[in-house]
């Protein structure tokens, strides 16, 4: 039984069908990287997994709950799913500590004292103990993204979704963010990561999914997909990016 199960997922915006029938599962503790050309539907797919998008057809089951069923409390499901975006989306008027403490305190999950302790522990984990009082505008892109990861972890999720977490970063900052993600993967977090970092995908993922035109065109262990791609479109994509 997959921790995430996607069955016959379709998503249209008006007459534009962006996801054309996606079937896949993610097992507990699995790290799945999603690759593919721009516009292939990767972000839309990821957003369907925590219902940031309403779907047009099919089912998305997370921890045995059909997240599009009106009887499902989507907020409960989302508490277990952390999401990290390309553009960080930190609260600009809160310092780092408050950014991380905000959701657990606001949602009544932790007392202020607990949330502060959690935030300080998470900051240590992402290597930013000295930035607790800083504001987002005082941080580099790599630091902001590490705060965003810490903030997502503050709710103690058991699934993490990443949408191109390093695409907005200067090259010298990519490594520090990927390093934090590698640690998470090693600790057994269930992760879906949309990325253009092929070296990272190859090293860290258990499985790679190649999307094109709203379909999963090819998937398999990274050594297979990168080393011996079968589909024409995978081959041509990899020729461009590798």
Q: Which is nearer to Mg ion, 4 or 34 (CB)?
A: 34
Q: Which of 41, 136, 157, 165 binds ligand ADP (CB under 6 A)?
A: 41
* Binding interface with Mg ion (CB under 5 A): 42-43
Q: Are strands 81-84 and 31-35 parallel, antiparallel or unpaired?
A: unpaired
The half-sphere exposure of 12 on its side-chain side, counting CA atoms within 13 A, is 6
C-alpha pair distances (Å), 98 with each of 44, 91, 116, 125:
29, 9, 8, 17
Among 3, 42, 78, 146, binds ligand ADP (CB under 6 A): 42
Residue nearest to Mg ion (CB): 43
**Nearer Cβ to Mg ion, position 110 or 195?**
195
Question: Rounded to 5 degrees, what are φ and ψ at 221?
Answer: -60, 150
Query: Of 23, 27, 39, 188, which one interacts with ligand ADP (CB under 6 A)?
Result: 39
How many beta carbons lie within 10 A of that of residue 34, not counting itself?
A: 28
Pick the closer one to ligand ADP by CB: 20 or 121: 20
Residues 169 to 228 in contact with ligand ADP, rule: CB under 6 A: none
Task: With contacts defined by CB under 6 A, name the span among 1-9, 41-49, 176-184, 230-238 that binds ligand ADP.
Answer: 41-49
From residue 9 to residue 38, the character string flagging contacts with ligand ADP as x (rule: CB under 6 A) and all else as - is ----x--x-x-----------------x-x
39 vs 221, which CB is nearer to ligand ADP? 39
If binding is defined by CB under 6 A, does position 233 make contact with ligand ADP? no
Q: Which is nearer to ligand ADP, 122 or 194 (CB)?
A: 194
Residues that bind ligand ADP in the complex, under the rule CB under 6 A: 13, 16, 18, 36, 38-44
């Amino acid at each position: 039984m997959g921790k995430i199960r996607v069955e016959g997922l379709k998503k249209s915006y008006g007459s534009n069908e962006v996801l054309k029938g996606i079937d896949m599962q993610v097992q507990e503790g699995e790290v799945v990287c999603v690759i593919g050309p721009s516009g292939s539907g990767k972000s839309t797919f990821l957003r369907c997994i925590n219902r940031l998008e309403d779907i047009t057809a099919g089912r998305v089951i997370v921890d045995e709950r059909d997240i599009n069923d009106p009887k499902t409390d989507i907020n409960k499901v989302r508490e277990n799913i952390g999401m990290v975006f390309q553009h960080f989306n930190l609260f600009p008027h809160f310092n780092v500590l408050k950014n991380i403490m905000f959701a657990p305190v606001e949602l009544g999950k932790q007392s202020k004292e607990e949330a502060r302790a959690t935030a300080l522990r998470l900051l240590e984990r992402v290597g930013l103990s000295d930035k607790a009082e800083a504001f987002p505008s005082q941080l580099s892109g790599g630091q902001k993204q590490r705060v965003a990861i810490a903030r997502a972890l503050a709710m103690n999720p058991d699934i993490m979704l990443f949408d191109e977490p390093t695409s907005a970063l200067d090259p010298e900052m990519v490594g520090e963010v990927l390093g934090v993600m590698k640690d998470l993967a090693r600790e057994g977090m269930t992760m879906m990561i949309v990325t253009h970092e092929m070296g990272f995908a190859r090293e860290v993922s258990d499985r790679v999914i190649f999307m094109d035109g709203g379909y999963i065109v090819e998937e398999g262990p990274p050594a297979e997909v990168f080393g011996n791609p079968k589909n024409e479109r995978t081959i041509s994509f990899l020729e461009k990016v590798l």
